[in-house]
Chain A
């Protein structure tokens, strides 16, 4: 095995290792150096981390397990101080590593304007996780000045604003993002940012940064002074080439490489932002990935050559959709096709030269971006479709506005995923090989696996290719009241400390005054789950069953199910239930699958009275109607059964007494079986415990409804106390992370059992989850029947007035 040393764990080197180890896992023994004390992560997704829309864990591309599984020796947090090319060793701060082949993935450094005061505390760049964390840790209400109104600067500004800072963007040019946008789109972008409360100053040149030890203000050339607690420099990047230069490699603006990514030393290669190829530098992720692919092939002796392609740009600021590609400067012989819809903030400009499209700027509606980009790259003759060109692919060839027509019309080589350079043909190939959902396509092709903005397009390719066999995931957004997804809303409620419905509507820009029947129950749940002490459940944001604490039937009557702990009851309880059934003319009495008794057909106005009667016999609400803990089903365990290994009934009752009354994203059903014969059917429950001689096997994510799922093993524990602790912690984790109306099995499919096991396996974290659950229970573990059966509340169940009586008098 040859020795490969890689310096720098950035996006390009991460992708290189992936390709290399996939193609030939035995070719090299790899050592990976990184000056940052962590491995590869998706650097272009730092902006959603800054804004609080994603967590760092979500953007890690390779974790410790991956490096271990692939035999990569990690030297993170260690700088490389030199390279001895004669002895072929890399000299790290903690020792030398010999190499046969060496790869530079040193990336770039942020460019810091050398104005007076640039080295004050509080002046930072926006490059890595540490910078991001510096910004996240800045107190809301502080004043931030972002120098640079390009992609990175604006993403930083938007993120800081979402964190509650006062933000001013300074930009040297006459309009924002002048390299990607024309002035009109720049104006719309500026207006959008200003609406979010971000101040924008163009043609603003920084003279100096003032402060005593710490930044206090930014002074402009025109004399303006802007007070500042934080200054973010986002004016550009410079290839990081000091080490390469010191090692004697040929370096121009960056490390010179040939089309095989080889430097002037035959055994040394380079990829990413530190590379110069044919006089060109590379800053966007797509060409970096191309380079990684080429280098991986080169390293295992295959033929490949890197060729730069034209690029397109998207801004990752939630709510600002812009896209640009190609050349859109004015010039002789160039013609513009412009579409404006000012009320909706939509602007589209196409630049045509010699009957081909050479540039496109889209603002507000970027759905057709990739199609335009395809026309630009292929130099397609557009003379036949010029009249309708600006309306996008759906309007070509006289077809109707079928949303899928646009994607169906794309040629196989049309690029769908810009980050990973995945074209439609590759996705279709994967689908023809058996992929039927987004996850599989993503795993096999990497399409939509980086910045994710093309997810919708990939889904459309699935839909167009599979036809009816593909069920289009319901739009990512919660409902028509917002463009945010459930995950976004949950994250923002936490990261921005939104503690009331009004705060959510206002801060997250809801389009309706107070939501609708889809979003309001979800938001109500998220608020009460995240802020149990600050927010109180709002019955008017609950579906009827949870507001009436009874299940509505098709004729408008209700069903009443008293709780029977662990499915155990007594003769007295049964007598009280029978009496109630007689007294209130209950037409149907049924035993449920969850070991309870259901009284069906109770009139709404009788509910408080029947509850009061059942309460009097010691019975409380069984929550048979709630997105909350339903039932814990048990077998008789060691009490009576000759096979029982543990007290399954006792454990079931103990769990039910701990968990009842809690609200969850969807209903939660448990069971405890006393032996592997599993009479309580624990293996198809949200949490199912099977007792064995040596302890308790806890399974999670089972279901026996629309989908039938067997539980996945979460953990095996020795004692009943541990079984309770793990169960409570699991349910709290589900409460804190799942989207509303996802049963645990659906949630597990999204986050993965591994993550849940890891999180719960951490004893302090498990304990903290249990504590948070118990805290919430101090508020919510109450019997709603007892609360509502009192006279003042009970009258709400009756008509406000009865005019039929008066009429009869």
Chain B
């Protein structure tokens, strides 16, 4: 549960909300709810797919259903997805730290540190990453409580009206941005869920994590609309930092940027580690190399190089994230679970192959 919440939170509250404000205006909170519901559906579908053959991840199931080349195509698709997702994660991390705290530091430094942190995470394994995520969840709750207390006095309900100003269809269309965040969680589940024990609780765990994660994220668009106004939220690359910059409790606790970074950094760290882990597993199935350690450095280098290329230019980064990333992420995020589900349902005679692996 904690991994799913952390994996979505850091990017969803800041960079994604800024994009949403530009597209959906004051309806960004409704878009967040719609997207959470869509994420919940895709997550339950993904869990259903994996639960059919609970010892096999989505690559192994695909190999059993359509053969080796099917597995390779899928692993290439998922590698591309996590490569792109890593770009989004880098935008979130680097622009939080560099733009607000260390403007003089070279961009490459943030990327190298992020990659090193990711490699350390992989070295210790998924269990340690999950423990970090539990701490991350507590940090997220603390951050939400603090931002709530620091902003509530400036809250204005009139910013929310009229509801659905740009129409329901525009809201649904705008869900493509947060859907990309939830897709990281659903595709991670498709890869890592077989490692989780207590298979009978898979539905409950994943469902609850989407609901709790969605609620923790939902606080931000509500506050951003009510406190900053949609226009101000949409003005910034990292809108959550603007919230933090405007929050204050009394005379002495103001400017939450540092508080925010402290509490949100674990979530960002989990995002980096999981993206790297899932990318490495995807490459493992693509290349057939069995030893993950041999793949870690090359994959980390590719992700790092891509991440650097993305973040080194603010304008390109935001164009990629706003216009191009949804076109890549949406077909993979929706297409992969749906196609594997249909294949698993239709090609019944392949079941034996799947089970035998």
Chain B associates with chain A: no
- Give me the interface of B with A, judged by CB distance under 8 Å: none
- Give me the interface of A with B, judged by CB distance under 8 Å: none
